[in-house]
Amino acid sequence: MTVVEVLFLLLGLVAAGSALLVVTTRTMVHAALWLVVTLGAVAGIFLLLAAEFVAWVQILIYVGAVVVLLLFALMLTKAPTGPQPDLDARRALPAVAVAGLVLAVLGTTVVAGFHGVELDLDGAVVGSAQTTGATIFQQWVLPFEVLSVLLLAALVGAIVLSRGTGRRGGE
């Protein structure tokens, strides 16, 4: 086992374990904090898989913005401090069945499909800012621009949604 493999297994365990806690914990804010751990571990795996830039974007966008937004929403919707008994609907069993089915199908597909294929990370081109920037602005310019339109639409949508009650009051 190489160092990379050991690190991957450790980070993978952390990611999977904390992800399980995200969906099972009884305290709402704990779920957000465990999500931070999951996202951090996945960012670490990105670093191992030669995706340096993606890893730091993940930290900046997810931990710095998305989780803060989630915490903000939890606080604004009056999430109680203590554990809540009724966070889950009474359909845990079907949910476990569906999730297990998803895992079985996806898992067997990838293991059967890529069994024995080695991922060679020695000498892989690290996705630094330069390589990522060059590919985005040379090969993927059109998707990039479409994405910016999507963001603009989301921005306008969020503003319209947030103003909703004010307009109704004016009628």
Partner 1 sequence: MAELVEVLLRVAVVLLAFLVVPLLVGQVEHKAMAHMQSRVGPMYAGGFHGWAQLVADGVKFVQKEDVVPAAADRTVFKMAPAVALLPYLVAMVAIPIGPGLVGQDLDIGLFFVVAVMGVGVVGTLMGGWSSANKFSLLGGIRVAAQLMAYELPFVLAAASVAMAAGTLSLTGIVEAWNPWWLLWQAPAALVFFVAGLAELQRPPFDIPVADAELVFGPYTEYGGLRFALFILAEYAGIVVLSALTAVLFLGGWHGPWEDQVGWLWTLAKTGLVAFVVVWVRVAYPRLREDQLQRLAWQGLVPLVLFQLAVTAIGVVVMSS
Partner 2 sequence: MPLWWPLLLSSLLFAIGVYGVLVRRNAVLVLMGVELMLNAVNLNLVAFDAYFRDVLHGGQTFALFVIVIAAAEIGLGLAIVLLVFRTHGQIDVDTMRELADREEPAVAER
Find the radius of gyration of the CA atoms of the chain.
21
Q: How far is the CB of 66 from partner 2 (least distance, A)?
A: 5
Pick one of partner 1, partner 2, none as the site partner of residue 29 (Cβ within 5 to 8 A by kind).
partner 1
Classify residue 132 by burial, with Cβ atoms within 10 Å: 0-12, 13-18, 19+: middle
- Regarding 142 and contact with partner 2 (CB under 8 A), the answer is no
Q: Are 27 and 84 in contact (CB under 8 A)?
A: yes
- Regarding 130 and contact with partner 2 (CB under 8 A), the answer is no
Which residues in this chain contact partner 1 in the complex, by CB under 8 A? 27, 29-30, 33, 36, 52-53, 56-57, 59-60, 63-65, 67-69, 71-72, 74-76, 81-82, 128-130
Joined tokens for residue 83: 């554990």
Pick one of partner 1, partner 2, none as the site partner of residue 27 (Cβ within 5 to 8 A by kind).
partner 1
Torsion angle, alpha carbons of 132, 111, 23, 36, to 10: -30
